[in-house]
Amino acid sequence: MLNQRALAYLNEVIRRGSLRRAASYLDVDASALSRQIKALEESLGVALCERHGSGMHATQAGKLLVEHYHSQRAADEAVLSRLTALQELRRGEVRIAVGEGFIADLVSAPLQTFLTAFSGIELEVRMAGVNEAMSLVKDLEVDIALLYAPPVDPQLHCHVETLQPLDLIVPAGHPLASKEKPLTLRDLTEWPLGLMDNCFGMRQMVALVEQQERVHLHARLRTNSVSVLKNFVRSGIGITFMPELTVMKEVRSGDIHVLPMAHPALNGARAQIVSRTGRELTVAAQACVDHLQRGLRFFNADAPRLMN
């Protein structure tokens, strides 16, 4: 049998990049931690980690053991969650990473109704761009993530996917709104433009189309805030890209107009709920996924195309 404490120590050393940081996080003596890992290496007859200039790194054998450790923990959590299910989901915890663009949809009702329906489950919601959210799922820092326009990643398993095109949003009465055909990037070059930072799916999607159309868009405003961009457009300063559900309230109030783009990549953008591949969700996490699929407009159907 593998020493579970030694596996836990090995995982933290690899994750933190040093014995000292792992020992501090675990609140144990660094020498005791080192002895446990050394004993595990000797019992297996193989090196599990090695020191580099940037810190401690796992060998191939070490990576295999860390993966085993995570899989074992996930299996244990799944079994425990089933026991919880026998008690009608009276307790549990679900950790979610979510982009700011989903927040209005999330807090409009689904968050409240989930907490009411499952009063024993605690939620942890972490704001993150698509890159960070994907890393949080893969590093097991969260159970699920709500992603917009994520790149394909075999380490992520998609539970729910809907079509949510990335549209151009402009202030009410903007000259671009009079265009009869879907817009290209070249149509936008003379207007003040706001863009999300590079770590967000919306920006990465626009960058892909810039490359394909061989057009460079100069951003007058760069931000990591969806709210800042919405106010940038609503105040009449400039234009930006967003899925229409993110600005549904502003569209219905007449403050913002949504215009379709001509490029198929933008029209094919998707929203997903994902977890780590190979990690079985707890009953609480699966209940949360099911609830979000039913309750969030982003995930219960493809984009409603409010502009039509």
Q: Which band of pLDDT confidence, cut at 50, 70 and 90, is reported for residue 84?
A: low
What Å distances lie between residue 274 and 86, 94, 156, 246, CA to CA?
25, 13, 6, 20
Segment 83-92 mean pLDDT? 63
Percentage, residues of the chain above pLDDT 70:
96
Q: Are 184 and 263 in contact (CB under 8 A)?
A: yes
Q: Per-residue pLDDT tens for 38-64? A: 888 888 889 888 888 777 888 898 888
Q: How far apart are CA 290 and CA 284, in angstroms?
A: 10
Segment 207-230 mean pLDDT? 94
Pick 55 or 234 by higher pLDDT: 234
* Token pair in block for residue 293: 């699929």
Q: Is the pLDDT of residue 308 over 50?
A: no
Q: Which band of pLDDT confidence, cut at 50, 70 and 90, is reported for residue 88?
A: very low
Segment 290-307 mean pLDDT? 86
Angle at 231 between CA 99 and CA 293, to 5 degrees: 30
The beta-strand segments (E) located in the chain are 49-52, 55-58, 92-98, 121-127, 144-148, 156-163, 167-171, 194-196, 221-223, 240-242, 256-259, 270-276
Segment 88-97 mean pLDDT? 80
List Cβ neighbours of 61 (8 Å cut-off, separation of 6 or more).
Answer: 44, 46, 47, 48
